[in-house]
Amino acid sequence: MFKPIPVSIGLRYLRAKRRNGFISFISLASILGIALGVTVLITTLSVMSGFQRGDAMQDWPHALQVALQDKRVAGAAPYVDSQALLKGVRNQPAIVRGVLPSLEGNVSVLAQKMKRGSLESLAPGSFNVVLGQELALWLGVGVGDSVVLMLADERSTPMGAMPSIKRFKVSGVFEAGYNEIDKGLAVVNMSDLQRVLKMGEGVTGVRLRLHDMDQSWEVAGDLAQDLRGPYRISDWTSENANLYSSLKMEKTVMGILLSLIIAMGAFNLVSSQVMLVTDKQADIA
């Protein structure tokens, strides 16, 4: 059977004669060492590189009321989320969240994180926006300036599908201390965002704050039974399930990689010792 020349030459020198058996062993150990090294490299790159809206809720007051009847729930508030491109001096994509300032304090500490302005400035119909500090710096805007929000929601026009565009006035800046939020979140009044997205009275969902966050799984299960409707209930563990499973897999794979590195070192050590013994065989005899 025809074999490629590189394969033929490799097999010829890999299968050594009996008197040169140690050469075959050294060659095999070296090949295994290189194979393990390449495996470690590829697996490491894979581990580090490979880990990564439904309909509006119309009857959210009912869900809010049912949730607040649970004694484990400390607060609840509706919200509307949408992705958008914010345009100031520079452009930056971000999450635009519509909230009710009167209820937002029940589920977050956003009002306490304000550096300039206040959350109460987000009055219905004002089309004001509160930006994260890093987002405001990147856009090159401050309190009193205007930013243009180009929302991902498309609307049909005689010119075809066009994104929803609205100008908002910056009325405040907050600093959460977490870069992903400070550079990726803009907060507006919920009714203003509903008008831009043409959602009517619908919301994206209702957020809950619990007295004990470790009970989130049990609370989610109980609420699913109490609501008995077209609701999707999730807790912080399921929302970040991919992150936690990725961290667990990363720890497991890193342990395997360490074992492979140790095995590769062992092969190289054995190869060097065999060559040393063979070289000193005449002296030993």
Cα distance between residue 125 and residue 193, in whole Å: 10
Give the model confidence (pLDDT) of 226-275 as tens digits: 877 677 777 776 666 666 677 777 777 777 777 777 777 777 767 766 76
The yes-or-no verdict on residue 7 having pLDDT over 80 is: no
Residue 239: what pLDDT?
Answer: 64
Using left for φ > 0, alpha for ψ between -120 and 50, and beta otherwise, residue 117 falls in left
Contact in structure between 131 and 97 (CB atoms under 8 Å): no
Containing H/E element for 169?
Answer: strand 160-174
Considering only residues 188 and 212, tell me which one the structure prediction assigns the higher pLDDT: 188
Contact in structure between 76 and 207 (CB atoms under 8 Å): yes
Of 59, 58, 79, nearest to 205 by C-alpha is 79
Residue 70: what pLDDT?
Answer: 87
The Cβ of residue 144 has, within 10 Å, a number of other Cβ atoms equal to 10
Give the model confidence (pLDDT) of 12-54 as tens digits: 655 555 455 555 566 666 667 667 666 666 665 555 444 334 4
What are all long-range contacts of 86-89, with beta carbons under 8 Å and residues at least 24 apart?
Answer: 86/131, 86/135, 86/139, 86/147, 86/148, 86/149, 86/150, 86/186, 87/139, 87/147, 87/148, 87/149, 87/150, 88/139, 88/140, 88/141, 88/145, 88/147, 88/148, 89/139, 89/140, 89/141
Give the model confidence (pLDDT) of 92-123 as tens digits: 999 999 999 999 988 988 889 999 999 999 99
Phi, psi of 84 (to 5 degrees): -150, 160
- Give mean pLDDT, residues 5-17: 60
* pLDDT interval class at 60 (50, 70, 90): confident
- Weakest-pLDDT range from 61-65, 199-203, 275-279: 275-279
Cα distance between residue 60 and residue 229, in whole Å: 11
Considering only residues 5 and 2, tell me which one the structure prediction assigns the higher pLDDT: 5
Containing H/E element for 7?
Answer: helix 5-14
